[in-house]
Amino acid sequence: MERRVVITGLGPISPVGIGHLEFWDAVIHGKTNYREITRYPLKPECKTRIAAELDVYIPQIVDGNLDPLPPGIKGLNDEKYVDSSTIRKIQKFGVPFGGLSLYYAIAAAKLAMEDSHLNLDEEDLERIGCMVAAATGDMILIREAKPVFEITQYGAMGGISGTIAYEFGLQGVGVPLAGACASGNLSLQYGYKEILSGDQDIMLVGSVSAALASEAFFEACDQPTSGPMSTQNDLERPMKPFDIDRGGFVLGEGAGVLILEELNHALNRGAHIYAEVAGYAHSTDTATHMSDVSIGGYLRAMTGAVKRAGLTEDDLQNKTICINTHGTSTPKNDLIETMAIRKVFGDSAQRFFVNSIKGTTGHAQEASSAHELIAAALALDTNTIAPTIGLENPDPECGNLNFVKHHKVEEELDFVIKNASGFCGPYCTIILKKYVD
C-alpha cells in the first residue's frame, strides 16, 4: 500500500505574525506591517525606502549572560524560541544582525513541532529528518564574520538544516536545499519523497530568509538591473498583485517550517491533520536574466503536479480549487503566471479561486513559498481563502480569473494548488488536498 503524507504542524515566523494563529489572523484579515526601513540608513539614491520588517529584539551577551528583554518588548530570539547557548555561539562573531536566518529557522521549527505536539522523547530520531532551505545561508555572517572558516556550521547554506537538527537532536536525513523563492516548495517536495519512499516517518520542511539583515542585499535589489522591487513606496498598498497599477515587490523576511508525517504515524499518535500532500512537480527554465520568468517553466510545473496528484477533468470542473499563486506584484511575473494558468486549465481556470498573500506579508524571498504553503494548509483546514491585499483593479491582460480581493472567502475547499518560482529558473508546484480518512 502506498504511503500517504500529511501536514501535522505549522511554524510561521513572519512580519505579520509569529505562530500560525497570529499569522493566519493577519493573512485572512489583510493586516500588514510595512514601514520605512529601520535596520540601517539607506543611501539617498535608493529608490525603494520601505519593507516588511519582522519586529525582533536581538539579545546581547553581557558578562557571559544573556541580557534580559527590555520591558514591553516582544523578543523573537529569547529562550522561548532559541537556546541561549546557541545565541552565544552566534553572537561571538560580533556581527550586527548576524544569525537572524538561524534564529528564524530554529524558532519556526520549534513552533511547528509544538503545534504538532511532537514529543521527541517518544520518537525514533533516526526516522525524523530536516530539510529547511535557504538560498544563501546566513549571508551577513558569511560576508562579515572573520575569520570565515569559523562560521562553516552557522553561516553556510547547509548550516540551516544542520543547525536545526543539532538544536533538537534529529538524526534522520538532513539535506540542504536552495531554490531561491521556490525554496519552500522544493523543500516540501523532497521531504515528501523521503517519507513516501519509507526512509523517514517525519520531515521538517520549509525555508528561511533574513534578506533585510543585509544592507548590501537590499541595495542590490534596488537596482533595476538586478531586482524588480517596487519604487512606489506606498504604505497603504505597497504591493498590488495582478493589479493594473502594480509596480514590483516589497522585501519581507522570516521563516516557515511544516511538519510532514506519514499518515499512519500521525493517526497513531492522534495528531491534528491540516492537509494531505497530493502532488508536486519541479521544472527549470534558465532565464537570460536572473529575475525573468517563463510560461514554459510554470506550465511544466503545474501540468506535472496535476498529473501526479491524479486530478481529472471532472475534478477540475467540479471540485472547489484555489490557486495560491507566486503573485509577486511584478509586471512580468503576474502576467506570465496567469497566462500559464489559463493555458494549463483552460476554461476551468475561470472557476478557480485565485489569490496571492504577498500583498499582506511582503515578498520574503526564500521564505515566501513556505509562508504560502502554511497558508494553503490553513485554507484547507479552515475552509477560508485569504484575500489578495493591494488588488483593486485587475489587469485585463492577466485574464478573467476569479481573483479573491478585499475580503476573505469562506468556501469548502477540496484542493489548493501552490505555485512558486525563483530567481535563475526554478519552478515548483505543490498540490495539497483536504484530508479524508
The residues with which 331 forms a beta bridge, in sequence order, are: none
Catalytic one of 20, 282, 363, 371? 363
Catalytic one of 20, 265, 282, 326? 326
Note if 181 is an active site residue: yes
Could you tell me which residues come within 8 angstroms of residue 302 by beta carbon, excluding any fewer than 6 positions away?
281, 340, 341, 344, 417, 419, 429
Q: Residue 161 CB: number of other CB atoms within 10 A?
A: 26
Catalytic one of 130, 181, 322, 398? 181
Find, among 156, 209, 216, the residue nearest to 366 by Cα.
Answer: 209
Could you tell me which residues come within 8 angstroms of residue 299 by beta carbon, excluding any fewer than 6 positions away?
340, 343, 344
Q: Indicate the burial class of 236 (C-beta count within 10 angstroms; 0-12, 13-18, 19 or more).
A: exposed
Q: Are the C-beta atoms of residues 340 and 302 closer than 8 Å to each other?
A: yes
Note if 406 is an active site residue: no
Q: Are the C-beta atoms of residues 118 and 351 closer than 8 Å to each other?
A: no
Q: What is the CA 417 to chain-centroid distance, rounded?
A: 15
Q: Residue 117 CB: number of other CB atoms within 10 A?
A: 13
Note if 363 is an active site residue: yes
Q: How far apart are the C-alpha atoms of 289 and 8, rounded to whole Å?
A: 38
Q: What is the DSSP letter of 245?
A: T
What is the Cα gyration radius of the chain? 20
Active site residues: 181, 326, 363
